[in-house]
């Protein structure tokens, strides 16, 4: 059914729900931009939309089940008003492909992560049958974006992943790694900057292997070269990136954090496990010592860096000793924050086939609790080093807990709630007077404001 199946009058309205990672946030901004250029406006509620869209994730089972519950509501809304169009994009759609129509017959259009532009084709065609689009065809960079915050932009530098982590569904949903040409990325950031973007986050499944598949004057491009090129762009005050792989975290990238003005003092370095035996089973291609060497190199060049990580507990075969090694690494590195996950078998991955040494659920939960205790303790302790300092904060909006106060982020990626006069999009100086594991609090330095 085409978009002319409009049920609420002339203006077509869409509602989009995004699940998953920042790559999906990015794709959703492109979807919104594209829909608005087609004349759609955003509906505040799903029930008010004539185009109901989901941008899905498949990384863990919990992501699947959360989304399926939302899809149930779309089914009901479509039954009430059959003129509605229901679309499902992203990694879950890609991982089940055409099966989506058999399992959920009310879905009109489904598309994988490389197929965002096909949504427009579908909506502007007179197609009366359900359509699925799953071949990767290109980046969404050329599509217009509707940014959630006008001063923060995403830059998709590559798609796909050549790693073979045994637990991960991404290589099967996003395919082999393809990097975008450096000149194209620079032009995109220049356009963002002209548009008012001050902070750009470089996105890829494995950002620091960027460029190996490219040739500039016969040689590959490198991630540090890209960082330098983006740093040189006028108006860009902050650069972030996610996620790097420890195996590709070379000295040139570490040095860039010390040398480039706008590259933030924050590195997210996914550990996954502190046991070399489990890392091998995960096919991470580094061991505990190599990981710790990278951390030492980072701390040598950027002593005040904020380090964050991802850790999985309960991978098949993880013994108490293996888990204790993970805890040891956590104690040694002292992360500023960490995302912790219970292993979730994903369809099509080799870890899902493992049958030996499966960790019983209560043991997984208990390990998770022990890990969280350590992670939160370090996060709280590490945050204390900011108390008493005056730090640069990019203002994002009002505080979520107290509308009288503002909320922003330091270069270390710490959320700060503060009182002051600054408005969203501004960079200001905040004197930090309190720190918990999650957030900092403070007061805007009005002196700096007058002087600035
Ligand atoms: N089970 C649990 N956690 C997973 N992650 C990826 N795949 C799985 C899985 N099957 C975690 C990893 C990754 C983060 C984005 O999600 O820690 O870094
Ligand atoms: Fe989820 Fe991974 Fe897809 Fe991001 S790339 S949406 S985390 S499955």
pLDDT tens per residue across span 396-428: 999 999 999 999 999 999 999 999 999 999 999
Q: Which two tokens stand for residue 334?
A: 């002292």
The predicted pLDDT at position 38 comes to 92
Q: How far is the CA of 121 from the centre of ligand 2 (A)?
A: 24
**Paired sense of beta strands 238-242 and 199-203, if any:** parallel
Q: Flag whether pLDDT at 112 surpasses 50.
A: yes
Output the ligand 1 site: residues, CB below 6 A: 59-60, 167-168, 270, 272, 310, 312, 341, 343-344, 346
Centre a 10 Å sphere on the Cβ of residue 268 and count the other Cβ atoms it contains: 21
Q: How far is the CA of 31 from the centre of ligand 1 (A)?
A: 26
pTM above 0.85, yes or no: yes
Q: Which DSSP state fits 350? A: G
Q: Which DSSP state fits 248? A: G
Q: Flag whether pLDDT at 5 surpasses 50.
A: no
User: Cβ(200)–Cβ(153) under 8 Å?
Assistant: yes
The predicted pLDDT at position 131 comes to 87
Find residue 419's DSSP bridge partners.
443
Which position has the token pair 């790559």?
A: 23
Length of the chain: 452
Q: What is the spatial distance between Cα 434 and Cα 439, in angstroms, rounded to a whole number?
A: 9
Q: Flag whether pLDDT at 260 surpasses 70.
A: yes
Element at 292 (helix H, strand E): helix 288-301
Mean pLDDT taken over the chain: 93
* Three-state secondary structure call for residue 181: coil
The predicted pLDDT at position 357 comes to 95
CA-CA-CA-CA dihedral for 189, 192, 193, 197, to nearest 10? -120
Give the chain's domains with CATH numbers: 13-133 (3.40.50.12160), 147-264 (3.30.750.210), 387-448 (2.40.50.140)
Cα 224 off chain centre by: 20
Which position has the token pair 């983006």?
A: 230
The predicted pLDDT at position 126 comes to 80
Mean pLDDT for 135-163 is 88
Interval 194-252: pLDDT, tens: 999 999 999 999 999 999 999 988 899 999 999 999 999 999 999 999 999 999 999 99
The predicted pLDDT at position 139 comes to 77
The predicted pLDDT at position 426 comes to 97
**DSSP-assigned states of every residue in 365-376:** HHHHHHHHHHHH
Nearest-CA residue for ligand 2 atom 4 is 21
Which position has the token pair 């939302």?
A: 70
User: Cβ(154)–Cβ(29) under 8 Å?
Assistant: yes
Cβ–ligand 2 contact at 170 (below 6 Å): yes
Most ligand 2 atoms within 8 A of CB, residue of 174, 312, 346 to mutate: 174
Query: What would you measure as the largest C-alpha separation in the chain, in angstroms?
Result: 65
Using pLDDT thresholds of 50, 70 and 90, give the confidence band for residue 448.
Answer: low
Interval 303-358: pLDDT, tens: 999 999 999 999 999 999 999 999 999 999 999 999 999 999 998 899 999 999 99
């Amino acid at each position: 059914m085409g978009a002319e199946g409009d049920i609420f009058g002339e203006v077509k309205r869409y509602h989009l729900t995004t699940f998953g990672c920042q790559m999906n946030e990015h794709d959703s901004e492109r979807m919104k931009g594209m829909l608005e250029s087609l004349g759609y406006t955003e509906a505040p509620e799903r029930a008010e939309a004539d185009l109901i869209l989901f941008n899905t994730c498949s990384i863990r089972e919990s992501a699947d089940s959360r989304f399926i519950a939302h899809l149930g509501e779309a089914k009901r809304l479509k039954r009430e008003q059959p003129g509605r169009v229901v679309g499902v994009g992203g990694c879950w759609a890609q991982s089940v492909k055409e099966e989506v129509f058999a399992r959920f017959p009310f879905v009109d259009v489904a598309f994988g992560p490389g197929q965002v532009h096909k949504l427009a084709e579908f909506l502007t065609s007179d197609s009366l049958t359900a359509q699925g689009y799953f071949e990767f065809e290109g980046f969404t960079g050329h599509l217009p974006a509707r940014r959630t915050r006008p001063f923060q932009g995403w830059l998709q530098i590559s798609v796909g992943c050549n790693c073979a982590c045994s637990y991960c569904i991404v290589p099967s949903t996003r395919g082999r790694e393809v990097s975008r040409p450096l000149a194209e990325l620079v032009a995109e950031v220049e356009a963002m900057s002209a548009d008012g973007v001050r902070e750009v986050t470089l996105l890829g499944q494995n950002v620091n292997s960027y460029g190996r598949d490219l040739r500039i004057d016969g040689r590959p491009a490198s991630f540090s070269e890209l960082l330098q090129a983006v740093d040189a762009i006028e108006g860009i005050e902050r650069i972030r990136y996610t996620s790097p792989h420890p195996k590709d975290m070379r000295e040139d990238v570490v040095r860039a954090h010390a040398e480039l003005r706008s590259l933030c003092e924050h590195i997210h370095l996914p550990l996954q496990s502190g046991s070399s035996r489990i890392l091998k089973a995960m096919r991470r291609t580094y061991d505990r010592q190599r990981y710790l060497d990278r951390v030492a190199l980072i701390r040598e060049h950027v002593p005040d860096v904020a380090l964050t990580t991802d850790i999985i507990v309960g991978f098949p075969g993880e013994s108490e000793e293996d888990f204790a090694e993970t805890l040891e690494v956590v104690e040694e590195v002292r992360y500023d924050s960490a995302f912790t996950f219970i292993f979730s078998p994903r369809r099509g991955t080799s870890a899902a086939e493992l049958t030996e040494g499966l960790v019983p659920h209560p043991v997984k939960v208990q390990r998770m609790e022990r890990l969280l205790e350590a992670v939160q303790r370090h996060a709280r302790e590490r945050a204390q080093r900011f108390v008493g300092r005056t730090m640069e904060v990019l203002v994002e909006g009002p505080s979520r807990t107290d509308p009288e106060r503002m909320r922003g982020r330091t270069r270390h990626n710490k959320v700060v709630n503060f009182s002051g006069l600054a408005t969203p999009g501004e960079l200001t100086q905040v004197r930090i007077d309190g720190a918990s594991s999650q957030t900092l609090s403070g007061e805007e330095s009005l002196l700096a404001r007058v002087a600035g």
